[in-house]
Each structure stands twice: as C-alpha cells, then as structure tokens.
C-alpha cells in the first residue's frame, strides 16, 4: 500500500512538473506571411545606408523561418527566411520562390504574421522570436555598428576639453600693462642667505609655516560671508575639485545656450574630478538623483541650510544648483562660480545672472509655475 501510494505521488508530481514546463515553452515559429512589401537583404544589417538589399519581398508572400537575430541596438529582430510563395508584384526586383533573405521585424510596426508548425497563428510572436533568437545566438552585433552606446569616461571628458588660451601665465598675472615681466614677482623665491645659522633659522620658520598651514582645519576666505564658519562648506568650496570644475566649465562654455546645460555641467564635474562616472540622467531635474548616487549631498534636504539659502546668491561657491518647476519641463542646472553675488553661473554658457533671473524663469513665474532651487549639491 505504502509503495503504491509513493509511486502514485511520484507520478502526479512528474505530470504536474511536465505540464507546467510545457506551458512555458513558447510556440515554435515555422512560417511567416508578409502583410506588406519588405526589403530582402543579404545580411543582418538594416541600417538605411547598408547596401545589401537583394530584392523586394511583396505583400502576401510566404516563407519559412531559417534563423532569427535580436538586434541589440533597436531590440527589434532580423529574420532569415526561405520564400515558399511570392505575392503579386509589378517590380522587376521582386524576390523569387526559394530565395533566402533577411527581413526586418519590429513589434511596433510588424508587417509580418507568424505561424507555428501546426499552421496556427503564433499568439505572441515576440516571445517566440526572443526564444528562437536566444537559441540562434541573440544579439550578434551588426558589423559596423556599436551594440550599446557607452557614456564618456573621465579620461575622454578631460581629453576633449578646449585648449587653454595661449597667454603667457606670467604676464597674465600682471594687471598693470606698464610693468614688464621683470617688474612683477611671479613664483619668486627669497634669495638664500649666505650665513649657515641664518639659513637654519629660516628653514625652521618655513617648516613651522607649513605645519600651521596643514593643521588649519577650515580654509579661510573673507568673501564666504555666512559660510565662513562652516568647515564642510569651506572645505568643499575652497577645494581643488571645485576650482578645477569651475575652471573646466568656464574653459568649455559656449557664447550662448545650446540647450545642453546638464551635459556641460556633467562634463565640468568630471573634468574637475568631482565625480568619477558620467551621470546617466537626460534631464537637468535628474541631477539631484544622479549626483547623490556619486556621493554628493543636497543642502536643501537639511533645514539648517535651507534656511540659509533663499536665493542663488546665497549658494556657496562651486555648488551645483538644480532648478525645476514641478512640471514635465527638463529644468536647469548651473555651477556657482564664486561666493555671494561676486561670481556668476556656468553650465553650457556663462551668465552673471542665475537661471531664476532668466526670461524663461520669469515667464513661468508670471504664469504661476515658478522655478525653484530643488537641489544645491556639494560633496562633503
């Protein structure tokens, strides 16, 4: 009894397992019927400039599927078919029965109907195609195409920045055009004293100065105003990453907006070593999320800082300001280039005024959809 019961149980379990496995198998593709005229190509390359069109496969043609490939670039499919019936066509370039060609299949705009081995219509052609494409070798890259677009790396960003202006750096520091290079002291060093004892004292003083410099925890800048007592803000704003990011932004800016504010800010932040990876977001409003993912923080999340920042003029130097108005708009993003109202704002172009003073922001404010600073991003 016990043995019979056990055998029965195993049989039921195997039956259930078999039926559920069978239910997941997609229908096997066999034939395809053309509901429109399609190009028959000699290779799996469907770009408009690919010179591989062999023939025109007219509407009402029928074919057997030989091979399928899912195209990584578009997600659509390439199907290699052998024609079994050719529809009516007046063209001279029409395909013939027996021809083997590649045709394009897009789920959005199919122009093809599929049948399985029993001749019944395939209910979900994309599932069946995916299954077969995986079996046949999914996503073989089309020759001459990039299968997946890649985001620029930090090295690429740095390598593609505009060259520095060819100005003599020594003369650039001279604000008085009457003085010659010899009159101004650039990187000048104090003449060495000849006496050994004096030199030793001087060396000790130099070391003391250096120690004092390195132990000073908060960088000082009189222009920082209310931020000057905040070590986190001061370290960020007076740090070399901010300096380099602003410098990259100003060096690569355009004369007027190109509509790529976030792209230019991303590059400036990467070029200044503020972030390591190219942020993926396509809209400026995504900057808060993208930059948080790379270790930056939003000062507007902290009530203490939110109270201190009422306008873009209050924003610390080097912070990335993200603007949005709660609509479907992309928003805007800028890097503040200096403290208080001293500096301007750089993104794809430089302006002495923040985005909130732009005609667009004023127009939206007048229409009751005002832009606000949704992010003031810094790296602690």
Q: What is the DSSP string of 312-376?
A: GGGSPTTPEEEEE-SSSS--EEEEE-SSTTTS-EESSBEESS-GGGSHHHHHHHHTT---EEEEE
Among 86, 128, 234, 261, binds another protein (CB under 8 A): 261
CB closer to another protein out of 31 and 290: 290
CB closer to another protein out of 236 and 345: 345
Residue 247: strand, helix, or coil: helix
Q: Which tokens go with 102? A: 């590649």
Q: Which tokens go with 60? A: 């009402």
Q: Which tokens go with 173? A: 């520091």
- Decide: is 62 part of the binding site for another protein (CB under 8 A): no
- Decide: is 257 part of the binding site for another protein (CB under 8 A): yes
CB closer to another protein out of 43 and 257: 257
Among 26, 141, 219, 281, binds another protein (CB under 8 A): 281
- Decide: is 363 part of the binding site for another protein (CB under 8 A): yes
What is the size of the binding site for another protein (CB under 8 A)?
Answer: 31
Interface mask toward another protein for 211-250; x: CB under 8 A = ----------------------------------------
Q: Exposed e or buried b for every residue in 264-289, given b needs 16+ CB within 10 A?
A: bbbbbbbbbebbeebbebeebbbbbe
Stretch that binds another protein, among 23-31, 156-164, 282-290, 372-380 (CB under 8 A): 282-290
CB closer to another protein out of 266 and 317: 266
CB closer to another protein out of 318 and 343: 343
CB closer to another protein out of 38 and 261: 261
Minimum distance of another protein from residue 206's CB (angstroms): 41
Among 146, 179, 353, 380, binds another protein (CB under 8 A): 353
Counting Cα atoms < 13 Å in the Cβ hemisphere of 5 gives 2
Q: Which tokens go with 216? A: 């000073």
C-alpha distances in Å from residue 152, one per residue of 149, 158, 296, 358, 375 = 10, 10, 20, 30, 24
- Decide: is 152 part of the binding site for another protein (CB under 8 A): no
Residue 258: strand, helix, or coil: coil
Stretch that binds another protein, among 183-191, 274-282, 296-304, 309-317 (CB under 8 A): 274-282
User: What residues contact 267, with CB distance under 8 A and at least 6 apart?
Assistant: 152, 157, 161, 248, 252
CB closer to another protein out of 39 and 298: 298
- Decide: is 336 part of the binding site for another protein (CB under 8 A): no
CB closer to another protein out of 32 and 320: 320
Q: Which tokens go with 300? A: 């507007």
Stretch that binds another protein, among 19-27, 161-169, 238-246, 356-364 (CB under 8 A): 356-364
Among 260, 292, 313, 372, binds another protein (CB under 8 A): 260
Q: Which tokens go with 260? A: 């790529």
* Rounded distance between C-alpha atoms, residue 299 and residue 196, angstroms: 54
């Amino acid at each position: 009894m016990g043995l019979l019961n056990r055998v029965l149980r195993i049989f039921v379990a195997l039956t259930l397992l078999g039926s559920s496995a069978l239910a997941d198998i997609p229908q096997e593709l066999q034939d395809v019927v053309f509901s429109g005229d399609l190009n028959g190509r000699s290779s799996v390359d469907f770009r408009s400039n690919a010179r591989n069109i062999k023939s025109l496969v007219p509407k009402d043609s029928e074919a057997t599927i030989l091979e399928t490939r899912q195209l990584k670039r578009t997600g659509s499919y390439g199907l290699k078919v052998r024609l079994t019936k050719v529809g009516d066509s007046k063209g001279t370039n029409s395909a013939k029965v027996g021809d083997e060609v590649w045709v394009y299949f897009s789920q959005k705009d199919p122009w093809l109907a599929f049948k399985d081995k029993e001749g019944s219509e395939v209910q979900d052609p994309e599932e069946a195609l995916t299954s077969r494409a995986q079996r046949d070798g999914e996503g073989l890259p089309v020759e001459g195409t990039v299968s997946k677009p890649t985001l620029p790396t930090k090295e690429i960003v740095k390598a593609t920045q505009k060259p520095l202006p060819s100005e003599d750096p020594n003369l650039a520091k001279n604000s008085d055009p009457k003085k010659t290079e010899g009159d101004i002291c650039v990187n000048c060093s104090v003449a060495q004293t000849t006496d050994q004892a004096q030199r030793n004292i001087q060396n000790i003083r130099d070391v003391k100065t250096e120690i004092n410099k390195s132990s000073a925890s908060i960088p000082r800048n009189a222009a920082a105003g209310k931020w000057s007592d905040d070590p986190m803000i001061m370290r960020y704003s007076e740090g070399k990453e901010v300096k380099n990011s602003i410098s990259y932004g100003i060096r690569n800016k355009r004369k007027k907006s190109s509509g790529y504010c976030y792209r230019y800010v991303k590059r400036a932040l990467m070029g200044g070593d503020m972030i390591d990876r190219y942020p993926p977001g396509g809209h400026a409003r995504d900057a808060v999320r993208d930059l948080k993912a790379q270790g930056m923080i939003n000062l507007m999340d902290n009530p203490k800082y939110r109270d201190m920042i009422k306008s873009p003029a209050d924003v610390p130097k080097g912070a990335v300001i993200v603007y949005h108005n709660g609509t479907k708009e992309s928003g805007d993003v800028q890097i503040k280039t200096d403290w208080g109202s001293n500096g301007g704002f750089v993104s794809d172009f430089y302006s002495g005024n923040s985005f909130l003073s732009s005609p667009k922001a004023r127009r939206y404010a007048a229409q009751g959809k005002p832009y606000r600073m949704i992010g003031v991003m810094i790296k602690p």
